[in-house]
Amino acid sequence: SSGVPRLDTMLGGEGFFRGTTILVSGTAGTGKTSLAAHFADAACRRGERCIYFSFEESQGQLIRNMRSIGLNLEQWSKKNLLQFHSSRATFYGLEMHLAIIHKTVQQFHPRVVIIDPIGSLIQAGNRRDAHTMLIRLIDFLKQRQVTAFLTNLTSGGEALEKTDVEISSIVDSWLFLRDIELDGERNRALYVL
């Protein structure tokens, strides 16, 4: 389950396939991190371990912000079902980030890994190297049958069919979130690409 019943319905009633790669992209404030947190919460409710790699928010910020939408992620952390790893992408190079993720996955044995957001990794190298690193990471997670949930920040007006690290062609499920403003009212839309 994605943790969002209406999204599960859009995905055929049961959510995502295990061991696949899910990409959620959209502009700032459209709900990418909220969907990632719902996915983590759903995994933990099933008794599955989850690792949440955040390159923009600290563990405390994520727990506080998700509490504001009714999610208590702290309980899962205390039960050793959810691990957070927060650092700025610029703190290490891409190879070190990849090594840390590999080591953490091998030690914790999660069923779900969240990377939020993948575009930050460009700051640790360049677009081409970030692309290569993400392909290696996705292959590693698929080999271990770990479901990967990746978020990607897009700029307003960007094409739907493209991500800044160009991995959209190798993901299994792609969700696109956007704000729609019409007659002074702002609504969110979710597309299953």
pLDDT tens-place string over residues 33-47: 999 999 999 999 999
Instruction: Quote the pLDDT of residue 27.
Output: 87
186, 3 contact by CB (below 8 A): no
Ramachandran angles phi, psi of 92, nearest 5°:
-130, 170
Indicate whether 91 pLDDT > 90: no
* Positive or negative torsion for Cα 153, 72, 63, 78: negative
Instruction: Tell the burial category of 158 from Cβ atoms under 10 Å away from its Cβ (0-12, 13-18, 19+).
Output: middle
d(Cα 34, Cα 126) in Å, to the nearest integer?
Answer: 27
Mean pLDDT, to the nearest integer, of 44-73? 95
Indicate whether 162 pLDDT > 70: no
pLDDT tens-place string over residues 143-158: 999 999 999 988 765 5
Band of the pLDDT at 161, cuts 50, 70, 90? Answer: low
Instruction: Quote the pLDDT of residue 79.
Output: 97
Instruction: Quote the pLDDT of residue 32.
Output: 94
Comparing 160 with 190, which gets the higher pLDDT?
Answer: 190
